[in-house]
Structure 1
Amino acid sequence: MNDAADNTPDTAETISAVIITKNEEANIARCLKALSWVDEIVVVDSGSNDDTRQLATELGAAVFEADWNGFGPTKALGVDKATSQWIISVDADEVVSPQLASEIQKVLIDGTDHHGFDMPRKTNFLGRWIHHCGWYPDRVLRLFLKAHGNFNDAPVHERVVLKGDIGHLKEYLLHYSYPSLEHYLVKSNRYTTLGAQKALTDGRRANWFDIVIRPTVSFLSHYISRQGFRDGLEGLLISVLSAVAVMMKYSKLRVLQNEQRRRET
């Protein structure tokens, strides 16, 4: 680890941060500055046409350019490029809090029998930290030994496949995912398209139940069961928008399967 940043002893195991990017100039500096304590920062960029790569390079990251092959494969490529024993995977719109950084460094210094760790993630939606809606605490497996894990090949909703034991960290990863409604809608459009494409590949078929009933169930789950109403207007918006995203995913799947049927006839 970077002794100049945290004065940790040389006995600590090494750690690389891995981030994937595309047009993240608004987020990348905040993300990387919170990672000054790691031994290495690997950024895999897929076609940015803003200053993302330049900013990452200026902040000490090793930047690799790669074609976009989905979230899982692109993150896995970043892990392959890393040279440390431990990997921490961070999205460009996430920040490792000082408390989480200290907790991770203590684990690496003291040693552990675990092969990976999950951590709670707190999401900021339109300037408000969300504590319900099923968004909190959103535990994510992001810290793991390179020799024991890597990301799967899912194009969306990727996850780390780990061979070994998982420990649990207490401090938070901060997620500045949705600074505006426009940003949310752009992101949701992208994710629902990828989700529909994956569903088609997996042999799923959309029907009226998926397009009408599933969104209703999603709203009730977020707003009532997961107490989204306790997050005020933002909780209501999350619940409504989550339902719309479900409807959009299955509507897009329906379009894709109709196109597939026409090609086959």
Structure 2
Amino acid sequence: MKGLSALVLTYNEEDNIADCLDSISWIDKIVVVDSYSDDRTKEICQQYENVNFYENEFKDFASQRNFGLDKIETDWVFVIDADERVTEELKNEIRNLKNDDEVDAFNIIRKNYFLGKWIKYCGWHPDYNLRLFKNKYRYSGIVHEGFSVNGKIERLENGFLHYTYKNLSSYITRMNQYTTLDAEKKYRSGKKIGITYILSRSFLEFIKMYIIKRGFFDGFHGIVLSLLSSYYQFIKNIKLWELNNLRSDLDE
């Protein structure tokens, strides 16, 4: 494929970013948008000749990605996160793609690892992501950002690897960030919930992942992930409840 750049978002990714950049070193131009990391992320990125490093205050994921897309001049862009790796097979497939005016984007399958294990169930596989697309699209959405493609979408045969969390502490840190963003989004839309919804939603999340999505086949990792996802739902919704009640108290 001709005319391709890569986009990576970072924040305190010194443990991940080098492996990520090495896996996409074959791409001529890589744009990294960093949210003012206070570790060695910037130093590591600046060691790569094909990396253009930018710092931008984080507001939400869509805005941060769009900031990076505006720095890219090529017709095509490949979006990858710092904890993801392009396999040799995917690299060769992308490099051998022929530019097709009728195709606007490609879905790419992702293998998700949790605490060192590939999760095949829990609703985590197959996991297709729209990551290779023409650089005319822009993201929207605060937490689960995305965009609509008004052209043809195809699917690549090979995928990339996603090392989600190296430990439980990293899971809790990211969970706190994502649940806050999600709660604020729903609060601004005027959504209100009660304790019955909060408890039932958490319970149903566990049933969905561990029973319906057969998370029990993932063994101990499956039950841990299902319980943590249930807790994620609880925290997200209790934060929304807190926002609504704090505003109510201020209005009185």
* TM-score between the two structures when normalised by the length of structure 2: 0.96
Is 1:15 the equivalent of 2:4?
yes
Q: Give the letter aligned to residue 191 of structure 1.
A: Y
Instruction: Check whether the contact 1:39–1:84 (CA below 8 A) recurs between aligned residues.
Output: no
Mapped to 2, the partners of 1:222 and 1:140 lie a distance apart of 20
Counterpart in the other structure of 1:247: 234
Instruction: Check whether the contact 1:142–1:160 (CA below 8 A) recurs between aligned residues.
Output: no
Is 1:83 the equivalent of 2:73?
yes
* Residue 97 (structure 1) aligned to one of 87, 93, 107: 87
* Residue 208 (structure 1) aligned to one of 175, 195, 210: 195
1:131-170 pair list within 5 angstroms: 131-147=120-136, 149-152=137-140, 154-170=141-157
Unaligned runs of 5+ in 2: none
Instruction: Check whether the contact 2:202–2:230 (CA below 8 A) recurs between aligned residues.
Output: yes
Q: Give the letter aligned to residue 221 of structure 1.
A: K
1:33-44 pair list within 5 angstroms: 33-44=22-33
Is 1:234 the equivalent of 2:234?
no
Q: CA deviation at 1:258?
A: 0.6
Q: Give the letter aligned to residue 89 of structure 2.
A: Q
Unaligned runs of 5+ in 1: 1-11
Would you say how many aligned residue pairs link Structure 1 and Structure 2? Answer: 251
RMSD: 1.2
Q: Give every structure 1 segment of 4 or more consecutive aligned residues whose post-TM-superposition deviation is greater than 6 Å.
A: none
- Residues 41-92 of structure 1: CA distance to partner in whole angstroms, max 9, x if unpaired? 0001111011111111112310011111111110111111112110111111
* TM-score between the two structures when normalised by the length of structure 1: 0.91
Deviating more after overlay: 226-235 vs 170-179: 170-179
Q: CA deviation at 1:194?
A: 1.0
Counterpart in the other structure of 2:205: 218
Q: CA deviation at 1:200?
A: 0.5
Mapped to 1, the partners of 2:163 and 2:130 lie a distance apart of 18
Counterpart in the other structure of 1:3: none
Q: CA deviation at 1:110?
A: 5.7
Mapped to 1, the partners of 2:110 and 2:13 lie a distance apart of 20
Counterpart in the other structure of 1:6: none
Counterpart in the other structure of 2:63: 73
Q: CA deviation at 1:216?
A: 0.8
Give the match's secondary structure for 1:123: strand
Report % sequence identity. Answer: 37
Q: Give the letter aligned to residue 67 of structure 1.
A: E
* Residue 198 (structure 1) aligned to one of 185, 203, 207: 185
Mapped to 2, the partners of 1:146 and 1:219 lie a distance apart of 38
Mapped to 2, the partners of 1:92 and 1:69 lie a distance apart of 18
Q: Give the letter aligned to residue 241 of structure 2.
A: R
Q: Give the letter aligned to residue 128 of structure 1.
A: K
Is 1:116 the equivalent of 2:102?
no
